[in-house]
Homo-oligomer: A and B are copies of this chain.
Amino acid sequence: MDNRTVFNALGKILFLLAFTMLVPLLVAYYYREPLVPFIVSFSITLISGLLLMRFKGREDWQQKEALAIVALSWLAAAIYGAIPFLFEQISFIDAVFETMSGFTSTGSSILVDIESHTRSLLFWRSFTAWLGGMGIIVLFIAVLPKLGVAGRQLFRAEAPGPTEDKLKPRIRETARILWTLYVFISALEVVALVFGGMSLYDALNHTFACMACGGFSTYNAGIEAFHSPVIEFILTFFMFVAGANFALYYRIIRVNKVVLFRDEEFRAYSFFILGFTGLLTLVLFSDMGFSPFNSFRYAIFQITSIMTATGFASTDFNLWKDSAKILVFSVMFIGGCAGSTGGGMKVVRFLLMLKYARRELFKFVHPRLVRPIRFNSKAVPDDILQSILSFVVLYIGVFVVGTVLLTLLGVDIISSVTASITTLGNIGPGFNIVGPMANFESVPPLGKIILIGNMWVGRLEVYTVLVLFTREFWHS
C-alpha cells in the first residue's frame, strides 16, 4: 500500500469537508451566534487538508488504498467535524461520538439538553447527517475532478448494500445523479414540512435528518414535540422514500414509468413495513389500550423510522410493553434497501439469506436437484450469496462483541444489546438507558468508543473497516 496516495486523497477530502463548514457559519451569522467555532474548525480542516495534499500520490489506486481512503476519510470527518462541538462544553469523546453519529446518519446523541445548544451547532449536527447520508465519498466523486477508475473503487467501498453501479457507466455521472435526486427530494420535503406547520429552520433540520435516515431532532422530545399527526405522516412518507433504492427513482424519471413494484427488494421492503405496522397496530391496540387511530399512527411512524434506520421517535416507545418493543427491535435487523440512505443489514441481504436457508432445506430433501436462487428473476451467483452470508456472520459478530463488551463495562443487558445494534445499524435510539427520550451520555467512555466503532463499521458495511484490522491488509 502506498501511504502517500492515501494521505493525498485524505487531504482532498478534508479540503472539501472544510467548505461544508461554511454553511453552519452562515447560520451562525444569521442568528447572531458565535462565529468562532466554525471559523476555527474550517481553518484547521482546510490547513490539514492542504498539508496532506502535499503528499504526491499515484493515480491508479489499488483495492487496499481505496479501502484505506474510504475508511480513514470517515474517521477523519468524525474527528474534524467534532471541533465545533468542543466550544459548547462537550468533551472530545462525546464530540466525536456525536459527529460520527451525524456523518454515519445514526442519530444516537450524547446531548443531554439538545435545546440548550446554539442553532448553528444543531444545524451543523443535522447537516453532517445529510452529507453523510448520501455519502461523503459520493459527494467527493461528484464534485472533485478527474478520478476515473479509482472513483469506482471508492464508490464500491462506501456503497450502501450490494448494488451494482449500473445507473451510468461513468461513476462520476452516477454520483452527480444521486446527489441531484437527493437535493431535489430534500427540497420537496422542506416545502412539505413548512406546509405541515414547521418553521423553516425546523423543516431544514428535520429534512436533513430524515432524507439521510439520520434521526437527529432539534428538540429534546424529538418528533413528539410537534404533537402533529400531519407532520408525522409527512415524515413517515419521506423516511419511506429515503429508505428505498435511489436508483429506482432515477429510473422512474428516466423511463417515466412506475417500475417500483417490479423490484423485488422494494416489494419486500413495503411488505415488511406494512406487515410489522399491522402487527404493531394490533399490539398497541390490544396490549396497550391505545385508540385505533393512535395505534396505527404510532405503529407506522415507529416501524418506518426504525426499519429504515432513521431513528426518529414520535413517542417514548421505551415505555411500551415488551410485546410492542420486540417488534420495534426485530425490524432493527432488517434495515433499508440497498442504494438508499437507510441503515441496517439491508432488505436485499435479509431476503437472500431467507432464500438461501430455504434452498438448503430443499437440498436436504432433494440432494441431487439443483435449484438456483433467483432475485428479480435472475439467478444469483454463488459468490454473491456467500459474501452476503459472511456479511451477516461478521455483522452479527460485531453486534455480539459490542454487546458483550458494553455489558462487561457495567451497562445492563437490554441497553447493551440495543445500543450495539442501534449504532451498528446506524439507527439511533435503543431501549432503557439509551431509549428514544434518553441519550448516550451515561454510557462509560470506553463504551462510547466501542459504539463509535460500531457506527463506523456499520456505515461502511463491515468489510471496508474490518479489513483494516486483518494481518493481510498490512503485509503483502
The interface centre, meaning the residue of A287, A391, A470 with most chain B CB atoms within 10 A of its CB, is A470
Which residue of B has the minimal Cβ distance to A394? Answer: B357
State how many angstroms separate the Cβ of A24 from the closest Cβ of chain B: 36
Q: Which one of B330, B356, B409 lies within 8 Å of A393 (CB-CB)?
A: B356
State how many angstroms separate the Cβ of A241 from the closest Cβ of chain B: 28
What's the dominant secondary structure at chain A's contact region?
A: helix
Bound Cα distance from A373 to B121, whole angstroms: 50
Structural contact, A322 and B412, CB atoms closer than 8 A? yes
Q: Which A residues from 297 to 336 make CB contacts under 8 A with B?
A: 322-323, 325-327, 329-330
**Of A133-141, A175-183, A396-404, the one touching chain B:** A396-404
Q: Which one of B366, B367, B411, B466 lies within 8 Å of A472 (CB-CB)?
A: B366
In the assembled complex, A194 has its CB within 8 A of some CB on chain B: no
Structural contact, B362 and A407, CB atoms closer than 8 A? no
State how many angstroms separate the Cβ of A236 from the closest Cβ of chain B: 23
Structural contact, B63 and A367, CB atoms closer than 8 A? yes
In the assembled complex, A184 has its CB within 8 A of some CB on chain B: no
Chain A's interface size range is 35 or more
Q: Which one of B323, B365, B408 lies within 8 Å of A473 (CB-CB)?
A: B365
Structural contact, B393 and A357, CB atoms closer than 8 A? yes
Bound Cα distance from A367 to B416, whole angstroms: 35
Structural contact, B357 and A410, CB atoms closer than 8 A? no
Structural contact, A463 and B393, CB atoms closer than 8 A? no
**Of A208-216, A218-226, A382-390, the one touching chain B:** A382-390
In the complex with contacts A361-B470, A463-B361, A322-B389 CB distance below 8 A = no
Can you report 8 A-B residue pairs in the complex whose CB atoms are below 8 A from each other?
A: A63-B365, A67-B365, A322-B407, A326-B416, A360-B386, A360-B391, A392-B393, A396-B396
4 tightest A-B CB contacts, nearest first: A360-B390, A326-B407, A357-B393, A322-B413
* Interface contacts beyond A322-B416, A392-B393: sample of 13 additional A-B pairs, CB < 8 Å, sorted by A: A67-B365, A322-B411, A322-B412, A325-B413, A327-B404, A329-B413, A356-B393, A360-B387, A360-B463, A361-B466, A361-B467, A361-B472, A389-B390
Contacts from A to B (Cβ < 8 Å): 63-64, 67, 283, 287, 322-323, 325-327, 329-330, 353-354, 356-367, 386-387, 389-394, 396-397, 400, 403-404, 407-414, 416, 463, 466-467, 470, 472-473
